[in-house]
Chain A
Amino acid sequence: MMLARVADSLYWMGRYIERAEHVARLADIMLTATLDRAVDAGRTQEIAVAAAGETPPAPGALPMQAARRLVFDRSSAGGVLSSLARARENARQVRDQITTETWERLNLLYLKVTGETAVDLFDMGASAFLHDVIADLHLFRGAADATMSHGEGFRFLMLGVYLERANLIAQLLEVCFGDGRGARSSDHVAEMNLLRMACALEPYLRRYTAEIEPRLILEFLLFDEEFPRSIRFATARIEENLGGISRLARGGGLTAPDRLAGRLKARLEFADMEELRAMDASALLTDVVADCARIHDAVHDAYVAYSLETRLPA
């Protein structure tokens, strides 16, 4: 049992944390890519900006400008800084529900990226700056995992993290493989960068060796059971956390969010790579994004904004 508003805040905190990490990584990969050949750089920049949900940069825009916008622009809803600010605002709302260790990690990071010297530090060494942001977010996750009780609140937090992750990875794949792009043979470096954007390069290489193929990337990021940034992995966690919540909150029995999450999980578990290749990945990715949105709404209706008439005390 927890306050509906608190559950909502923890959930959003999870979403914003995940988004901040993802966009920080996109910005970093984009900047590093521009050190290489210009053609790839352009393509990587396009992918990064589109995957972050931003409008494409004006032709000739410098990667540094695009990156600064992804990180610091408060008006862009998906930016690193605005995501961190929102995550922290949600954390402040539930300051009594999260541990001091967890709060301090996030507050420290927030103070760092909003500090007076932050933009200068970024300009002097964007890669180091973004690397630190991502490392701090990992510390936050670690602190939450190690110090918070893994009860309802923690599950709402993790639900937010994985729902956002499934969504973000699906968006990234859509940008790269949507519209029949899946068949296109593409550049080795751009593909490595795609894997880096999903934080997947090293795990991929261990699984498939250095033979990087679009088909295998898609397979890995969609279906791998063990890689934490595959959509299948994320949807399994969504189902698991929702199951935990409904057991804790309702004493069992499937709820609307449970059913939707179960269906999404099954969709990925029983999908056939061969069949997928024959068509294209677009349809599946679109379904994933739509299912995530449906789960989000269902969670909101079941636990946060339910109508009082249905839940009056006996």
Chain B
Amino acid sequence: MHDAEGEVREHYAAVHSRLTSLSAEALAERQKTLERSFLLQGVTFTVYGAESATERIIPTDLVPRIIPAAEWRTIEAGLTQRLQALNMFLADVYGDQRILMDGVVPRELVLGAPSYRREMRRLYVPHKAYANVCGSDLIRGQDGRFAVLEDNLRVPSGVSYMLANRDAAKRTFPGVFQSSNVRPIERYPDLLLATLKSMAADWRPNPQVVVLTPGVYNSAYYEHAYLARLMGAPLVEGRDLVAYENMIYMRTTTGLRRVDVIYRRVDDDFIDPLAFRRDSNLGVAGLFNAYRAGNVVICNAPGTGVADDKAVYAYVPDIIRYYLGEEPILPNIETFLCREPAQLSHVLANLDTLVVKAVGASGGYGMLVGPHASAAEREAFAEAVRADPANYIAQPTIQLSTAPCLIDGRLEPRHVDLRPFILSGEKIVVTPGALTRVALRRGSLVVNSSQGGGSKDTWVLADGDAPEVRP
């Protein structure tokens, strides 16, 4: 909110003056009203405890984060470029494998990744759109530039919180919102539906789209139901679907009804017990065969995980150059691959300054934050890295930028990251907004909701007459 000289940045002026005009009590009251409304609406995620799963609201901060139009143009162009290249990469590694033959990305890194699905080889994916919904995590570095921390191409969550936060922000600060020229994000559900429909076979007019959820006990169930409701698509569970003669049907009160596109919010491993994990009862036996036969579309495509593998991440700038012949617009974070002996010894020698992550893990699990770890913890982690170097990468400890948050009625800086949502079907569309995740504990860098993080609304400003992008 403030620049280096302590002056309020121009695009924050209106919000700043509104916030400072309210008493601490008034702010706290608004915060409480907001939380009550989230609880009432059921905007919750599920926390798994020892005894039972309980529903909690994601702690939400009232103070919006504001991104000026020019800055957003860079983000939008950078993300579009990145997803375009990643989709081409996926089409290639499941197709001719040119990039592997040309030695740009090591063959064993891709083909040996647990997220690589041999079953996807030589399979036609419409528009080469593998990652139909992508939620990349961006951070702003010390130099003020945004960089990509991680690409989430499997089943990224959070878009419902982005929309719920916007709804709340409008009700909490209607005046400031109205005068701020914020770009609307409310079209996300219909853009998502259009994207999903664009993936259906041409010869199926008015395709039937469904949202596949693991069920009410999944931590993101609220989001699944929310998107289904706003798209007007049935929210189905595995038990509602059946495969029959290589086609997928849902059980309705009128009998079986054909399904064309499945927006699945279930991981690859669980979508089809015949093709993948046998012990899964979340999926549909025979789904993968129906998919291979071209009778149903699965979004995101199975096997996209290989492109957001933490080791493949290090090669994304090269991937962009290789397919598009362009320089990456958004930089990567410097990344050391422990599979390379020279980089491994660098990592082991500098554990106290690095963040080390297991390649396959997510959600803030399986990582070591060097500067915050004890010597014993670092030694134990070093042991694990030495035992299986290929499974680890390391990055410098990044000082996430901060944004002002309302903490006990006062404004305090907290570390944040940014998760914009990108849709890719016939076209690539970046929603002009994002989920800003906040590390609510003072000094903490962990923004994951499963680890005590919260979120806030993100205002992307329009400059004058910015046209809305349509798919």
Contacts and interface: CB of A to CB of B under 8 A. Distances in A.
A3 B42 contact: no
A243 to B, nearest CB: 14
Given A4-B252, A93-B216, A103 B257 contact: no
B234 A311 contact: no
A6 to B, nearest CB: 8
Interface in A1-54: 1-7
A107 B55 CA distance: 12
Contact of A104 (B41, B225, B242, B257): B41
Nearest to B234: A3
Contacts of A111: 39-40
Contacts of B221: 92
A107 B40 contact: yes
Contact of B242 (A3, A89, A108, A308): A308
Nearest to B241: A3
Contact of A108 (B40, B250, B256): B40
B253 A249 contact: yes
B346 interface: no
Contacts of A95: 42, 222, 225-226, 229, 235
B323 interface: no
A66 interface: no
A122 interface: no
B83 interface: no
A312 interface: yes
B229 A303 contact: no
B228 A96 contact: yes
A250 interface: yes
Given A96-B229, A250-B254, A311-B256, A89 B216 contact: yes
Contact of B234 (A96, A250, A308): A96
A1 B234 CA distance: 11
A1 B253 contact: yes
A132 to B, nearest CB: 16
Given A3-B240, A96-B229, A308-B242, A152 B253 contact: yes
Interface string A280-314: 00000000000000000000000110101001110
A4 B240 contact: yes
B6 interface: no
A232 to B, nearest CB: 27
Nearest to A302: B253
Given A95-B225, A107-B40, A108-B40, A1 B254 contact: yes
A245 interface: yes
A217 B453 CA distance: 60
A117 to B, nearest CB: 15
B335 to A, nearest CB: 40
B40 A3 contact: no
Dominant secondary structure at the A interface: helix
Kindly state the interface size class of chain A when it binds its partner.
20 to 34
B255 interface: yes
A89 B234 CA distance: 18
Nearest to A100: B41
Given A103-B42, A104-B41, A313 B229 contact: no
Given A5-B240, A96-B228, A107-B42, A312 B256 contact: yes
Contact of B237 (A5, A303, A304): A5
B253 A7 contact: yes
Nearest to B216: A92
Nearest to B244: A312
B251 interface: yes
Nearest to A306: B255
Nearest to A92: B216
B173 interface: no
Q: Which of B226, B229, B252 has the most CB of A within 10 A?
A: B252
Contacts of B39: 111
A89 B252 CA distance: 20
A306 B41 CA distance: 34
B292 interface: no
Contacts of B240: 3-5
A306 B255 CA distance: 8
A89 B255 CA distance: 25
Contact of B239 (A5, A100, A108, A152): A5
Interface of B: 39-42, 211, 216, 221-222, 225-226, 228-229, 234-237, 239-240, 242, 244, 249-258
Which A-B residue pairs are the 3 nearest by beta carbons?
A: A311-B255, A95-B225, A96-B228
Interface of A: 1-7, 89, 92-93, 95-97, 100, 103-104, 107-108, 111, 152, 245, 249-250, 303-304, 306, 308, 311-313
Given A92-B225, A96-B225, 18 more contacts: A1-B252, A2-B252, A3-B251, A4-B252, A6-B234, A89-B216, A92-B42, A92-B216, A95-B42, A95-B222, A96-B228, A97-B229, A103-B42, A104-B41, A107-B42, A245-B253, A249-B253, A303-B253
